[in-house]
A and B are shown apart, each in its own frame.
Chain A
Amino acid sequence: MSEFLIHVAAVSCLYGILALALNLQMGFSGLVNFGLIALFGCGTYGAAFAHLWGWPPLAGLALGLIFAALMGLFFARLGARMSEDYWGIATLSLAEIMRLVFTNEQALAGGAQGVSGLPVSFAGLAGQGAGLSRLALYAALLAAAFVLCQRITRSGFGMALKMMREEPQLARALGYDLGRMRAIVMVISSLMAAVAGFLYAHYLSFVGPEQLMSHETFLIWSMVIIGGIANNWGVVAGAFLMQFALAYVPFVKDWLDMPSDFVAATRLVIVGGGILAFLIWRPKGLFPERIGGSHG
């Protein structure tokens, strides 16, 4: 496997975890979260703070998980009284506040310059060993996240989530505590996003506020919509599909001899056009949700 393929596959695995997290929120529970990248950012900045303060990397993971759980709880609390489109705007605003604060506060994790020089995981291994070990680790975690999501969504709790999505008033009438369910979903998926962020930070060895731009959230959204809303296989497939599609844009640019803006513009068109095309012609995505619950 070439260096490049290993790289794209490794990033795809991390985005697969993020897509699973968003799918748990948006696909199964109907929580329209436009601020997912902030939860990912909890993981990356957990790693960054641990590095700045001279803590071991695993302490950074713990820090990131704590940040993410708290932020997930806050998101869920915010959602208690809002309809879904308002909540989407509120989460988008929170993610932007986080990005602006990290951009402007020089004292806080380097401001706009971010933090660089984080130790890269498995850097000691020779040749392709490092890349392949990282890929194996990320793939194993993706598999673990997948199994976790499958177990959750096939359980009685998963059925209750679907009912919250489809008929919130019926779910409440049957005695489900919607606020508690929202909080549980948000904490589980925030922890998943933070793990992906932590690994990403120790993969790029750099953490900066421009990683928290809102279009990153929409990229994850495109993976879920294209792959298939509320289908765990589908969103992982969507993550790989989108990452590989975006990774080959620079080659197309060189091949067609286009100006450098072409890359950014084409990526926007792939993400935005992919979302729109699927919403119009195939709103259930490549792999539609299986109706029928525990045997699906």
Chain B
Amino acid sequence: MIQFLIDTIIRALDLALIAVALSGVYSLIKFPNVALVQYAVVGAFVGMLLQQAGLPLVLALPVSAIFVGLVAVIFNVLLFERLLTEGSAIALIGSLALSMILSAVFLLAFGPAAYRFDLAVAPAMRVLGARITVHQLSTLAITVAALGGFAAILFFTRLGREMRATATNKVLASASGIDTRRVINATVFLSGVLAALGGMTLAMRGSVSIDLGTQMLLPVFAAAILGGLGNALGAIAGALVISAAETFVTNTNFGVLTGTDFLFLPASYAQTASFALLVGFLLLRPSGLFTSEVSRV
């Protein structure tokens, strides 16, 4: 049971940062930016390159996160601002296309091999009978700190108040003197930072290969939609639900149901569980668990 909880939390760590980034940006510009999962991969690769170049890890992480934040702003200004004038579906397709181009860049630059950070290998510790590694704990700390920082910005700063105002009513916010374009780009920057940290913490727990982004896409979306797209902190709850479902599907012995001793589903069904949960949710409660928007016709 403890192991189940730990596995769920670790998996939720994979999803939470990117899902929060996705949801946070959606609340302002009303389209789900698929390329965010690729920004996470960019973050992981840049962090590894910086570390190889001799930067200590404590510096490589923030430098890479800020770099990816800037990249996100550049893409937003050059690309998505223009596409959004055509509608959110067009912007969504554009972000898919951008993801494909980034995949091509990764493929040419890094090839299909898996990469890892240069970290000391520590044996798994036993906490209350559950296995847990030192890197899992340190990435847990980074994730909690990043999410806490984001929540603090959102709720206790002037920028955060402007972000919430813009998300609720962009026209009114603009009329009351808020520079909405600046607020949106600040949010896009923060989303890039969160996504990059998500990618790097994933890489610290295991390895990163170029198809990480495509693998993460639907679980991250499932978490963000479950939490109510546009509700940044709801995405954390969504990530926990999705990871619990995935862990349950892969770690439970279904032998009882079929009358055999052991029946474990293959690990790749973990993804199927999250997609099925997503589709079921969209059918029954299309706006997610916690909604911050009034539903449309």
Contact = CB atoms under 8 A, between A and B. Distances in A.
A101 to B, nearest CB: 7
Given A82-B282, A86-B225, 4 more contacts: A103-B268, A261-B112, A272-B99, A272-B103
Contacts of A83: 286, 296
Contacts of A104: 266, 268-269
Interface stretch (B2-10, B48-56, B83-91): B83-91
B282 A96 contact: no
Contact of A266 (B104, B111, B214, B286): B104
A34 B34 CA distance: 13
B297 interface: yes
A285 to B, nearest CB: 12
Given A82-B286, A218-B100, A89 B79 contact: no
Contacts of A276: 79, 94, 97-98, 101
Contacts of A262: 108
A265 B79 CA distance: 21
B218 A93 contact: yes
Is the contact region of chain B dominated by helix, strand, or loop, or is it mixed?
Answer: helix
A279 B107 contact: no
A210 interface: no
Interface of A: 30, 32, 34, 78, 81-86, 88-90, 92-94, 96-97, 100-101, 103-104, 169, 214-215, 218, 221-222, 225, 261-262, 264-266, 268-269, 271-273, 275-276, 279-280, 283
A147 B105 CA distance: 41
B90 A279 contact: yes
Given A94-B279, A104-B266, A276-B98, A265 B104 contact: yes
Interface string B262-297: 000010110110011011001100100000000011
Contacts of A280: 79, 82-83
Contacts of B189: none
Interface of B: 31-32, 79, 82-83, 86, 88-90, 92-94, 96-101, 103-105, 107-108, 111-112, 214, 218, 221-222, 225, 229, 266, 268-269, 271-272, 275-276, 278-279, 282-283, 286, 296-297
A276 B83 CA distance: 9
Contact of B218 (A96, A103, A266): A96
Contacts of B88: 84-85
Given A83-B296, A90-B278, A225 B93 contact: yes
Given A81-B286, A101-B272, A268-B107, A215 B100 contact: yes
A96 B270 CA distance: 12
Nearest to A229: B90
A104 B221 CA distance: 23
A283 B82 CA distance: 11
Given A218-B96, A265-B108, A97 B276 contact: yes
Contacts of B283: 78, 81
A273 B108 contact: no
Contacts of A101: 272
27 contacts: A32-B93, A34-B96, A82-B282, A84-B89, A85-B32, A85-B92, A89-B218, A90-B278, A93-B279, A94-B275, A94-B279, A96-B218, A96-B271, A97-B275, A100-B271, A215-B100, A218-B97, A221-B96, A225-B93, A261-B107, A261-B112, A265-B105, A272-B99, A273-B97, A275-B93, A279-B93, A279-B97
